[in-house]
Amino acid sequence: MIAKLKRREFITLLGGAAAAWPLAARAQQPDRMRRVGVLNALAEDDAEAQLRTMIFQRRLRELGWIEGRTIHIEYRWSGGSPERISSDAQELIAMKPDAVLAITTPAVLALRQATRSLPIVFTNVGDPVDSGFVESLARPGGNVTGIATFVNTMGGKWLELFKEIAPRVTRVTVILNPDNPTSRGVLRTIEAAALSFGIRIGPAGVRSAGEIERAFGAIALEPDVGLLVVPDPITVANRALIIGLAAQHRIPAVYPFRYFVLSGGLISYGTVPEDQYRQAALYIDRILKGANPGELPVQQPTKFELVINLKTAKTMGLTIPESFLVRADEVIE
């Protein structure tokens, strides 16, 4: 049973950049079939990836783009493979689309290696300035813009959750992909916040399911340890494995998105991924109508949700304060 207890929403307006992209784009006939590429670092059969794709498609239809009549969308699903992401990016750019949606930091990195001119809109990216994708949030410059996933204060918020629901935790292992610049940036914010909570941080870099299993072998030997999962195609694709191992070893874990908790994870605090795909569709629409991506401000997260799985908490022997449950946006029982 899923009970919605309270929701906090922060709403902001999209930036009103209206400057034109190259004059040639404006000169094109409005009835020309537009081509959009989508580079998704997850697998095509991933349920969450399919859900977000459906939301993206639906929003484009609402904006007047009809598949097969006014727009053609070419998808590539890389399944978390760095080699495949690179080749998929090159294939998409070779098709010379009018714009590309890049899902996750590895997808943006691969596309930027393939082009510095075709418009790219990203989602599921942490700090795009720190990653070198844009010059600034307000004026990205170049050919890349999009919707950021994290704010710098989230590292502290995640650690605060351990103190509220598992106060015995004195060490937190952070599972991340060490090759992902977003993951490295998020780790820095976690380490910066750790001192104020009296928590020691230990990063565990993983690039495969096997490395995740080996990491848990070491984590399970630590007393009073908690787990924090940084999103990446590798950790998202292996979320069932991570959730299962955390339950097996009774390790309190904090996740970045609600769908981890729906699958049995303990608790999550983060942005609402579905909203990012609606915003991404709007930016694709604006670019197809002549907007310059370099002048479309990067949208920062404005809506966050706190979700907890009470069944998982009880299995781990955790007592969740009533005050915490009242604050949660969703409690799964």
Mean pLDDT of the chain: 88
301 pLDDT exceeds 90? no
pLDDT in tens, 172-188: 999 999 998 888 888 98
In terms of DSSP bridges, do strands 330-332 and 144-148 run parallel, antiparallel, or are they unpaired?
Answer: unpaired
DSSP 13: P
12 pLDDT exceeds 60? no
Walk across the sheet containing 304-309 and list its strands. 2-4, 330-332, 304-309, 267-271, 253-255, 225-229, 171-176, 200-205
Distance of alpha carbon 185 from alpha carbon 192, whole angstroms: 11
DSSP 195: H
Distance of alpha carbon 139 from alpha carbon 211, whole angstroms: 39
Q: Give SS3 for 59.
A: helix
pLDDT in tens, 78-96: 887 888 999 999 999 999 9
pLDDT in tens, 235-288: 999 999 999 999 999 999 999 999 999 999 999 999 988 899 999 999 999 999
Confidence of residue 127 (pLDDT cuts 50, 70, 90): confident
In terms of DSSP bridges, do strands 120-125 and 99-103 run parallel, antiparallel, or are they unpaired?
Answer: parallel
How far are the Cα atoms of 219, 258, 302 from residue 228, in angstroms, in the given order? 12, 14, 22
Which pair of structure tokens corresponds to residue 103?
């899902």
Of 238 and 3, the one with more pLDDT:
238
pLDDT in tens, 146-178: 999 887 778 889 999 999 999 999 999 999 999
pLDDT score, position 130? 86
Q: Which domains does the chain have, with CATH numbers?
A: 9-150+272-302 (3.40.50.2300), 154-270+305-332 (3.40.50.2300)
Task: Count Cα neighbours of 129 within 13 Å in the Cβ-side half-sphere.
Answer: 13
Task: Please tell me the least confidently modeled range out of 27-36, 88-97, 216-225, 249-258.
Answer: 27-36
Please name the residues in contact with 89: beta carbons below 8 A apart, sequence gap of 6 or more.
39, 76, 107, 110, 111, 113, 114
DSSP 167: T
What is the rounded end-to-end Cα distance, in angstroms, of the chain? 5
Instruction: Please tell me the pTM assigned to this model.
Output: 0.85
Please name the residues in contact with 134: beta carbons below 8 A apart, sequence gap of 6 or more.
128, 140, 141, 142, 144, 145, 298
Mean pLDDT to the nearest integer, 300-329: 94
pLDDT score, position 75? 96
Confidence of residue 31 (pLDDT cuts 50, 70, 90): low
Which pair of structure tokens corresponds to residue 69?
């009549």
